[in-house]
Chains A and B, each alone.
Chain A
């Protein structure tokens, strides 16, 4: 097979969401650089990960200028919504306790059809001058790590056509010997570069997933129950990421437009069977839940996919040698709160910032410090995200426990992570060093809260009370956020920490009330104490 040379400034392996967004970001931020994207597929396909949350939506809208495109071609998301069931899984939808919004959240988020979004990004990127190479396999990767003073950096790899292209295009069958200054792994779970460099790290968070696209799923907003509709002030439940919660697993319903709904299950390995990977077994499993079955009554399955082990990590995200990982080529945690595209937003911001500074002539030392700090911060964020999901599965079927955990998680997200991102503090080295300096007590505090929620679930089970509030209840879950007006407004670090302390004390106090009633005294703790001691 003939081999041709291709020289490019930035080569991106993988044209999925992470790689296509990065290509768009680079064309907008650094139009003088040439960008090429290499993808094994010839057409975009069904993928999981349809829900964005605030950080990702901010990135798509404000960094990439996709706001009107998203409203025009995809669906606005009405927050997250959780339903709870009986031990016999036989509650009707309208009888279930519900945790979810009665109005759209303060910043927009979207339910995207991944196949359509990625196809549209390919077209937009090609129009913007991105060299898009579809239907090629990447191998023989060679990283140039010679360092300074050895001439211009040139990473190399081979891009070979997966199968002969249709006749007529001269040279279409040639393999490419690609040389680039910056090499990006955005190859998803294939993790082409991450595996080549031995970076993948297993995770002990043992959950699997199966999911499919259905047509003809019943519309929750068509349910003719005036009281049920009134309790959410007639907001549109169908547009939420709807979770049906059970001990050990949850089932999602996400509308992706054009008559399609994504439906999936994420389960601890002990609740997941091989049969669930097949259309018959997957549907049979779903229909064992009365409310879920009622939504699927007239639905038809279009396709089904599965992953046996969702979570994994990476030893490194970014290198001063000019290679970077983004999206699932690096790591994945758990889809419960839809964090996948938030990680893409952070990673792509860091990659573009580092490349921009290298182009601008920052010293090698300054650049290395920046890349290393960003890399340490990503690893910290991943650890922190994994702790959100630690001990989650045994407790998530209990309305009472999940309400408290949700209150803690959503308030922390708005108060810290979301706030830092929309105010660009994630790009400020001084701020990052401060956060990294404090990572040990923060992670220990998260461990303590994971243990607190776990203990709540265990104790409620022991008392026979795990399910006691699973029918007939409703809460938005943000009633305790008395700083709603401040969300994403400029605030001092002191104010953020005040909110943290009051939130942590509130959740701790309410947890005590659940287990021990109203009489027990729960004196407030200061911030540092939350990482030092068992909270219940």
Chain B
């Protein structure tokens, strides 16, 4: 999955699940201060990211995230590490 694809998927999640306005979302948008997400939303977001990539994001690493771009970086790094965990990665091979 390319970086652009990751970003586009993330935007789809933010619009589809969190009902945010597309115009508010950009790589530098702060998830908490600008997009008004909170820790309950972050749990939901990582469930969505897991469905997309097959990757479970470590809770401690997730705490360092601030912007949309941070999430893209994190997913990109996780995907680069290799195979998805647990064998329940339905869509992880889609872009490779």
Cα–Cα, bound, A430→B15 (Å) = 11
B58 interface contact, C-beta 8 A: no
B17: which A residues are within 8 A, CB to CB?
437
Chain A residues near B41 (CB-CB < 8 A): 438
A297 nearest CB across to chain B (Å): 53
- Tell me, in angstroms, the Cα distance from A526 to B42 when the chains sit together: 11
Known contacts A434-B18, A434-B19: does B40 contact A528 (CB below 8 Å)? Answer: yes
- For the side of the interface on A, what is the size category? 10 to 19
Tell whether A441 is near chain B: CB-to-CB under 8 Å: yes
- The A interface, classified by DSSP as helix, strand, loop or mixed, is helix
| Set of chain B residues within 8 Å of A493, measured between Cβ atoms | 36, 38
> Which residues on B sit within 8 Å (CB–CB) of A526?
39
Taking a contact as CB atoms under 8 Å apart, the answer to whether A494 and B32 are in contact is yes
Question: Could you tell me how many residues of chain B have their Cβ less than 8 Å away from some Cβ of chain A?
Answer: 13
- Chain A 429-442 per-residue mask, 1 if CB under 8 angstroms from chain B, else 0: 01001100110011
Q: Which residue of B lies closest to A528 (CB)?
A: B39
* Contact partners of A438 in chain B: CB under 8 A: 40-41, 44
Asked whether B43 is an interface residue with its Cβ less than 8 Å from the other chain, the reply is yes
Does A497 contact B38, Cβ atoms closer than 8 Å?
yes
Query: Interface code B27-71, partner A: CB below 8 Å = 1, 0 otherwise?
Result: 000001100101111111000000000000000000000000000
Q: Known interface pairs A437-B44, A494-B32, A494-B33. Does A527 touch B19 (Cβ–Cβ under 8 Å)?
A: no
- Please judge, given known A-B contacts A434-B19, A437-B44, whether A494 and B39 are in contact too, CB under 8 Å: no
Q: How far is the CA of A497 from the CA of B39 in the complex (A)?
A: 10
State whether the Cβ of A492 lies closer than 8 Å to any Cβ in chain B: yes
A476 CA / B40 CA spacing, docked (Å)? 32
User: Which residue of B is nearest A532, CB measured?
Assistant: B43
Are A527 and B33 in touch, CB under 8 angstroms? no
In Å, the complex CA distance between A506 and B38 comes to: 19
Verify A494–B38 contact, CB threshold 8 A.
Answer: yes
- Cα-based distance from A497 to B40 in the complex (angstroms): 10
Q: Which of B18, B36, B40 has the most CB of A within 10 A?
A: B40
A:497-536 near B, CB below 8 Å: 497, 526-529, 531
Contacts of B43 in A (CB 8 A): 441, 528
| Bound complex: CA A492 to CA B36 (Å) | 8
Q: Look across to chain A and name the residue whose beta carbon is closest to the beta carbon of B21.
A: A430
Given contacts A434-B18, A434-B19, A437-B17, contact A528 B42 (CB under 8 A): yes
Please name all residues of chain B whose beta carbon is closer than 8 Å to the beta carbon of A433 when the two chains form the complex.
19
CB-nearest residue of chain A to B41:
A438
Tell me the complex Cα distance, A442–B36, Å.
17
Chain A nearest Cβ from B44, distance in angstroms: 7
Q: Which residue of A lies closest to B42 (CB)?
A: A528
Q: Which residues of B contact A (CB under 8 A)?
A: 17-19, 32-33, 36, 38-44
Show the binding face of A for B, using Cβ within 8 Å.
430, 433-434, 437-438, 441-442, 492-494, 497, 526-529, 531
A-B pairs with the 5 shortest C-beta distances? Answer: A528-B39, A526-B39, A527-B39, A493-B36, A497-B38
Contact sample, A vs B, 11 pairs, CB 8 Å cutoff: A433-B19, A434-B19, A438-B41, A493-B36, A497-B38, A527-B38, A527-B39, A527-B40, A528-B39, A528-B42, A529-B39
